[in-house]
Amino acid sequence: MTTPAADRRTRVAGLLPGLRLLTVRPTLVLGLAFLLLPLVAAAILRHRLGAGAIELGAYPFNLRPSDAHVLGTDGYGRDVLAMLAYGLWPTLQVGLVAGATASAIGTFLGLLSGYARGWVDWLVRGLADVLLGIPVLPILVVVAAFLGSVSVASLGIVIGLVAWPFTTRVIRAQVLSLRDAPYIEIARLSGARRSGILVFELLPNLLPYVMAGFVGAVSGAILASVGLQILGLGSFGLPTLGLMLDSAYQGGALSRGLWWWFVPPAGLLVLIFVGLFLISLAVDEFANPRLRKRAT
C-alpha cells in the first residue's frame, strides 16, 4: 500500500511532462516569444508614451512615420505606436477570457458526457452538434449589434459560450478511450466516488488536450472579436487592434496609401496568430505523439 505522500507525488509527477514541454520544443518557445515579447514591449511603451498619445486629435493627422512618431499618426491624430501599445492587451484579454470560458465549460461537459454515457451523453452531444452548426459570426453580429458597447469580459464570455462545443468533442473522445483503462477500473472497484475519479484520475491525463483546446479557443476568440471589430461592432471604449483596422478602412487608408495606419496593427495581429499557431502545434505534438518528428 502506498502512503498518502507517495500517492500525491505520483499524481504531481503526471503533471511534470507539461513542464518539460517548455524546454524541449522550439516551436513552443518561438510561439510564446511571439506573444510575450510584444506584451512586454507594449507595457514599456505605455509607460514611456502615456495615455495622452491615444486621445483624439492629440497630434496632427496622418503624419508619416518620423523620429517624433515612429509609426506616424492616424486619421484621428493619435500616435499609431501608442495605439498598438494600448490596444494589444485588450485584444488578447478577450481571447483569454473566451478561451477560459470555453475550456471550462467544454472540459466539464466533455468529462461528464464521456464518462456518464446514456442520456446525459446524448443530450450534451446533441447540444454541442447543434451549436457547432450555427454560424458563429452572424450570431455574434446580432448580439453585438443589439448590445452596443460591451466590456472585454462580457464579449469574452459570450464568445466562450458559443465556442465550447469544439473542446467538448475533443475531451469527450479522449474520455471515451480512457474510461475503460485498468486504472480507472481499479479506482471504481476500490469505491472511489465518481467525481473523485473524474478529477483525480481522468483530468490529469486529459491536460494535454485541455491545453490544446484552450489555445485553439483563444485563437478562435481573438479571430472572432477582431472580425467583429473590423465590422465596426464589439467596441470596448478602448482602442483595440481590430478597431484600428476598422477606422483605417473607414478613413480610406488603403486608397490614400496611409500604410502606417493599418500595416502595423495587421502585422501585430499576424504575429499574434502565428504565435498562437506555433503554440498549438507544440501542444498538439505533445498530445498526439504520432505527430512528433520521427528520427529520420
Partner 1 sequence: MTARYLIGRLGFFIAIVWATATLNFAIPRLAPGDPIEDTVARLTVAGQSTEGADKLIAAYRAELGLDDPLVVQYFSYLKAIFTLDLGYSAALFPVRVSTLISDALPWSIGLLTLSTLLAFVIGSLLGALMVWPKTPRVARLALSPFMILSAVPYYLLAIILSFVVAFKLNLLPPTGGTSPGITPAWTFESIVDIVKHATLPALSIILSAIGFWMLGMRGMMVTTVGSDHMLLAEAKGLRPRTLFWRHGIRTAILPQITALTLALGEVVSGAVLVEVIFGYPGIGGLFYQAIRSNDFPLIQGISIVLAISIAFAILVLDLLYPLIDPRISYRRR
In the complex, the residues that contact partner 1 under the rule CB under 8 A are 126, 129-139, 141-143, 145-147, 219-220, 223, 226-227, 230-233, 245, 249, 254-255, 257, 259, 262-263, 266, 269-270, 273-274, 276-277, 288, 290-291
- 199 or 291: whose CB is closer to partner 1? 291
Name the minimum Å distance from CB 174 to partner 1. 15
Chain-centre distance for alpha carbon 76: 30
- 53 or 168: whose CB is closer to partner 1? 168
Cell of 231: 465590422
Handedness of CA 149, 74, 70, 33 (dihedral sign): positive
Name the minimum Å distance from CB 158 to partner 1. 11
Q: Residue 34: which of 275, 245, 196, 246 has the closest Cα?
A: 275
Handedness of CA 88, 94, 95, 97 (dihedral sign): positive
- 200 or 259: whose CB is closer to partner 1? 259
- 96 or 271: whose CB is closer to partner 1? 271
Angle at 101 between CA 44 and CA 236, to 5 degrees: 50
In three-state secondary structure terms, 278 is helix
Name the minimum Å distance from CB 96 to partner 1. 18
Q: At what angle do helices 152-178 and 203-230 cross, to 10 degrees?
A: 150
Name the minimum Å distance from CB 292 to partner 1. 10
Q: Residue 234: which of 89, 94, 78 has the closest Cα?
A: 94
Strands of the chain, DSSP E: none
- 49 or 245: whose CB is closer to partner 1? 245
Cell of 290: 504520432
- 24 or 254: whose CB is closer to partner 1? 254
Q: Is there a contact between 166 and 131 (Cβ–Cβ < 8 Å)?
A: no
Amino acid at 132: L
Cell of 25: 520544443
Name the minimum Å distance from CB 285 to partner 1. 11
Name the minimum Å distance from CB 284 to partner 1. 8
What residue has cell string 509527477? 13
Name the minimum Å distance from CB 63 to partner 1. 19
- 22 or 132: whose CB is closer to partner 1? 132
Name the minimum Å distance from CB 272 to partner 1. 9
- 15 or 123: whose CB is closer to partner 1? 123
| Residues in contact with 264: Cβ distance below 8 Å, sequence separation at least 6, in sequence order | 71, 80, 81, 84
